[in-house]
Amino acid sequence: MENAGSDGRGHEVLVAGSPPVFDDRTRDACVVVPGIMGSILEDDATSHPLWGVNLATLTDALTGEALFATLRANAQEQEADADTARRAPLTRIRATGLLAKPWYLHVFQGLDPYSKAVEVLQKVTLAPEAVEPFPYDWRLAVAYNGALLARQARAHLELWRERVAAVPEWRARPRLLFVAHSMGGLVVRAALEQDPELAADTRAVVTVGTPFLGSAKSVLALNLLHTGAKPERLVRRVQAMAATLPGVHDLLPGYRCLDRGLDVDRLAPGDVARFGGDRDLAARSLGEQARYRENRFLLPGHRAIVGEAQPTVQTLEEQRADLSVVAGRHYAFDVGDDGELVRDPATGIPARHNASGDSTVHMPSARTGTEAVHYVFGQHGTLMCHDEVLRQIRRIALERPQGVHLGDGTGDGPGLETPHLGGTLGTPLTFTVTGLDTRAGVTLSVRSATTGRPGHPLTLHRDPDRTDGALSARFTADAPDLYRVVLNTGRHAPVSQLVLVTQPDA
C-alpha cells in the first residue's frame, strides 16, 4: 500500500504502508544534580562508604562517632573554591553516585533516592547514556562543586553530540537540560555563571525546591546543641559536622529572617557564629547572597517546581533568655517594591504572613521571579519521587507546553508536619495534617522505608491545641528504623515524609 504525503516543501512523496509514527524523544543531553545529602560519599583511600549506604550509622547508638568526625570539613576543604576545583580538586572524600535508598539527617529530615527521576529522563531521551548523574561532595562550597559540574557537563555534552552525529536519522545538535533538586539548583547556577559558553549551550534548567534565597532550617541545624534535642549523641555529631561544612553555610537565608519584634534583620556572620556556625564560612556565603541580590544571574530556560502548603520554617526568633538559642517560626515578612518592610498602619509592627513551602524551603525562596513556576503539594525531601514532579520533568524534557500550575499558589491544600528531629524508640511521635476541612476519605499511614514492612493506618483526630483545625495522629515505633509517613486524601497526589527513629541514649 502506498500513501501520498508531503515532504514539507510542497512536494508529494509516496510512503510504503502506513506513515510512520515516531516515539516522542528529546535530543538533548540531560544532567541530574542532587541536593544536599543526595550523593553517596566514600573514603578515597579505603573506598569505605561514609554516607548514603549504611543506615545503621544513624540508628545504632554505638556507631557513627567516627563517621561524623570523618565527614567534618578540614581547613583545606573549608577554603576550597572554584579555582581549587579547576586547579587541583580535593580527593580525601569522593562522591560515587546518587543516593539509591531513602536517607535522613536531623533538621533536614528525609530524602528519597533519585532513581525515578533518572529513569523518567532515560525513557524520553534517544538513548539512556544521554542522562548523566552528577554526584558531588555536598559538604563543600557550592562554587567549588559548580566548577566541577561545568567541566563534567561540557564533557558529557560533547560526547553525546558525537554519538548523535554518528546516527544520521537523528539529525540534531543537542543542548543541555539540567534537572536539579534543592542545593543542586545552586550548583547549576554557579556552573553556568562561571561558564557562559555552557550557559549558551543550555536549553533549560529545572529546579525542584531550590532555596535561591536560602533556608532557615540551615540555621536550626547549626543551633542543634542549644535545643536540648534527643538523642543527644546523634545531635552532637550532626551539629559538630554541620558547623564545619561550607555546603550547609551556603544554605543560610539571605533574606530578612531574624525577627527582632519591631524590626527584621538579615543574618550577620556574628549571628551565625552565636547560633553555632562558623563566622568565616558564614561571611563568605552571606557575601555571595548579597552579590546575587545585586547582580542577578538568570538561569536559561528556567522552570521552578515549588512545593506549597506544607508547614515550613520561614523566619527565626531569638530566645530572649539565651540569645544563642533560636527558634523557627512558620511565618515570613512582607517586603514592598522599595525593599522596605511592610508595616501594620495601626501598630507599626512588621506585617507577618504564612508563605508556606515544602517543609524546608519557603515559597519565595524557591522562586527567582523570572521563571515559569509549577506548584505541587509535596515535602522537600520526597519531591523527586512525587508523581506530579516526575510528570513535569518529563514534559519539560520533551518541550511540551507548560500548561497550568499544579496548585493554585494560595497554599490551601494538604500539608504534613512531622518532627524534624525524628524520634527515639518508645516515645510517641505526633504527625499533623494541615489544610483539610474534613478527615473523610483521608488516610495517614506509616511503613518501614528500609524493608517496606507495612504498618497500620493511624487514627486522625482534631488537635485541640491547634487553632487552624489541623488533624493529628500519634505513632510509637516498635523498632529503630527509617519510617515513611504517607498522607493520602484521595483527591491529590500522596504527600510523604521520612522520619528516623533511633535508640534512646543509654
Could you please report the per-residue DSSP string of 200-219? HTEEEEEEES--TT--THHH
Residue 69 lies inside a defined structural domain of this protein: yes
Cα(159)–Cα(2) distance, rounded to whole angstroms?
Answer: 39
Q: Is the pLDDT of residue 54 over 50?
A: yes
Residue 36 lies inside a defined structural domain of this protein: yes
Q: What's the one-letter identity of residue 348?
A: G
Q: Is the pLDDT of residue 149 over 90?
A: yes
Torsion angle of C-alpha atoms 437, 442, 447, 453, degrees rounded to 10: 180
Cα(203)–Cα(346) distance, rounded to whole angstroms?
Answer: 49
Work out how many domains the chain is built from and give that number. Answer: 1
Residue 8, by phi and psi: left (phi above 0), alpha (psi -120 to 50) or beta?
left
pLDDT of residue 23: 60
Q: Measured between alpha carbons, how far apart are the two ends of the chain, in Å?
A: 81
Cα(283)–Cα(267) distance, rounded to whole angstroms?
Answer: 10
Which H, E and C letters describe 81-125, residue by residue? Answer: CHHHHHHCCCCCEEEEEECCCCEEECCCEEECCCHHHHHHHHHHE
Q: Is the pLDDT of residue 308 over 90?
A: yes
318-348 pLDDT, tens per residue? 987 778 889 999 999 988 888 788 998 888 8
Taking the model in full, what pTM does it have? 0.88
Residue 73 lies inside a defined structural domain of this protein: yes
374-432 pLDDT, tens per residue? 999 999 999 999 999 999 999 999 974 444 333 334 456 899 999 988 898 889 999 99
Please state whether beta strands 423-424 and 322-329 pair in parallel, antiparallel, or not at all (unpaired). Answer: unpaired
**What is the CA angle 405-408-414, rounded to 5?**
110
Q: Is the pLDDT of residue 497 over 60?
A: yes
223-267 pLDDT, tens per residue? 987 766 777 888 888 999 999 999 999 999 999 999 998 899 999
C-alpha cell at 160: 553525546
Write the CA distances from 49 to 19, 34, 55, 100, 502, integer angstroms: 53, 18, 11, 13, 21
Residue 225 lies inside a defined structural domain of this protein: no
Over the chain, what is the mean pLDDT? 89
Which residues form the domain of 93?
A: 29-208
Residue 456 lies inside a defined structural domain of this protein: no
Q: Which of 27-31, 55-59, 341-345 has the highest mean pLDDT?
A: 27-31
Residue 381 lies inside a defined structural domain of this protein: no
Of 119, 120, 115, 129, nearest to 174 (Cα)? 129
pLDDT of residue 453: 81
pLDDT of residue 2: 46
Residue 53 lies inside a defined structural domain of this protein: yes
pLDDT band at 60 (very low <50, low <70, confident <90, very high): low
Residue 347 lies inside a defined structural domain of this protein: no
Question: Cα Rg for the chain, rounded, in angstroms?
Answer: 24
Report yes or no: 43 and 50 within 8 Å, Cβ to Cβ: yes
pLDDT band at 56 (very low <50, low <70, confident <90, very high): confident
